[in-house]
Chain A
Amino acid sequence: MTHRRWRPLAPLLVALSIAPLAAHRSAAQQSLAEPSNFMSLTTFELSLPLGDTKRYMTGGLGPGLGWEGRWTVNPYSSAGVSLSVAGFSRHTEHTIDFPSGAATGDQLRQLMPAQLLGVGYVYPYQQNGVRWYVGGGVGGGHTDQDFNLGTQQLSRGAWHLIVAPEIGAEVRAGPDNLFVGVFSLRYNAPIAAGDYLGGGSRRFQYLTLRIGIGEE
């Protein structure tokens, strides 16, 4: 992982997670009995690389983290914002040929997409405390690409327009169904952009399993 970039991002995500919770908690404490129309979710994510993203993972899943705020629009829909980061990395040791030479040795390829989406969901089906939903998000994101050649690091990055359809379920528990667990699958489909290492624009798609915990 791009640990040097995770370090500043992790506290930011924690802060983003805590701030809405804290704000919401004080409001909830004032009126425990009243239903809230806002849900704050911290999501822990595992991403399966697709397409050109596969070059940045040797099997397995890339970890990620996010925060999402959902406002209830009506009993059958919600809307909100979603912030997330993911990471993919791959170690190899082989020879790379260049027009004027070659290099052999330890190589580390890393990809770190971060995205901010406006999201919307509809809830067509509910049973036994589980609300199923479909929807997704549209927004923008920045993808960092790093390529370490031994002790040398080459980096590129680009902004992408992102479309991200999603299906999932909300499970409620606790007093007044205050706590919410969310399980979902999101297909992150950025529009090709940038001039990445290796030449030209890239999409860097991936499929994300999101596990969220939060409260209303």
Chain B
Amino acid sequence: MSWRVPRRIPVVPTALLVVCGLVAACDSAPLNPNNVGWVTTLVDSTPPALQQARTFAVPDTIVALNGGTFNHAQDKVIASEVRGQFLAHGWVERADTTGPKPDVVVVMGTNTRTEVGISYADWFPSYGWIPYWGTPADPSWVWGAPAGAIAYVYEVGTLVITMVDLRAPRETTKRVPVLWVAAVNGVLGDSPVLPRVLTGIDQAFAQSPYLRIP
């Protein structure tokens, strides 16, 4: 009895099996819940305004952007971390709203919907209430994004930290002069995971060496 190689079996099924195996092996999704902890920072391309700033203020409230709602339980802890980083970088805090104004005010917000690019819409209902403007402001004002800003996709719950220059002649331009923005992607949900938020804030400062005052 002689053994014969069956003609129809080997090639095509083997090819199909290997193709399926390859496709399955390659199907490693690049996205998972741990990947959204992105930290991006944008800086204005006009260095003197940033280099000459020395004093800052950080309001304690994180604003819910896009008209949504947000659990404010961790606001003070997060604001404290940001404040601590500025102090560690050599800045001087001027929290008193009645004395000399700080050079910059650092406002914080969080996306309540996915955004492409930093959310610069509706600045007035979000931040128009802060007492540092010192000049009449109204809803016709717009954000001035840092020059060369790169658009990213920001998930719901992104912590957006924005440094606004209070020394700029904003009355005539009606543009909110933004010097620096940090976005920690998708870390603020209904129950913020505080270590991730604080680590993200620390990373934002670590990758922005130009914030350090010599």
Interface, chain A (partner B; CB < 8 A): 1-3, 6-7, 10, 13-14, 17-18, 21, 25, 42, 44, 63, 65, 87, 91, 95, 97-106, 108, 148-152, 173-175, 178-179, 213-215
Residue of B nearest to A112 (CB): B26
Q: Which chain B residues (5-37) contact chain A, with CB distance < 8 Å? A: 5, 7-8, 10-12, 14-16, 18-19, 22-23, 25-31, 34-37
Residues of chain A contacted by B165 (CB below 8 angstroms): none
Number of A-B contacts (CB under 8 A): 127
B35 touches A105 (CB 8 A): yes
In the bound complex, how far is the Cα of B208 from the Cα of A202, in angstroms?
Answer: 31
The contact of B37 among A17, A105, A173, A179, by CB within 8 Å, is A105
A100 touches B203 (CB 8 A): no
A14, A105, A178: residue with the most chain B Cβ atoms closer than 10 Å? A105
A3 touches B26 (CB 8 A): yes
Residue of B nearest to A42 (CB): B15
In the bound complex, how far is the Cα of B10 from the Cα of A174, in angstroms?
Answer: 11
Residues of chain A contacted by B11 (CB below 8 angstroms): 17, 21, 42, 179, 213-215
A10/B23 contact (C-beta < 8 A), A100-B149, A102-B41, A105-B37 known = yes
Residues of chain A contacted by B150 (CB below 8 angstroms): 98, 100-101
B26 touches A101 (CB 8 A): no
B29 nearest CB across to chain A (Å): 7
B15, B25, B35, B36: residue with the most chain A Cβ atoms closer than 10 Å? B15
The contact of A101 among B5, B10, B23, B40, by CB within 8 Å, is B40
Residue of B nearest to A146 (CB): B30
Residues of chain A contacted by B16 (CB below 8 angstroms): 14
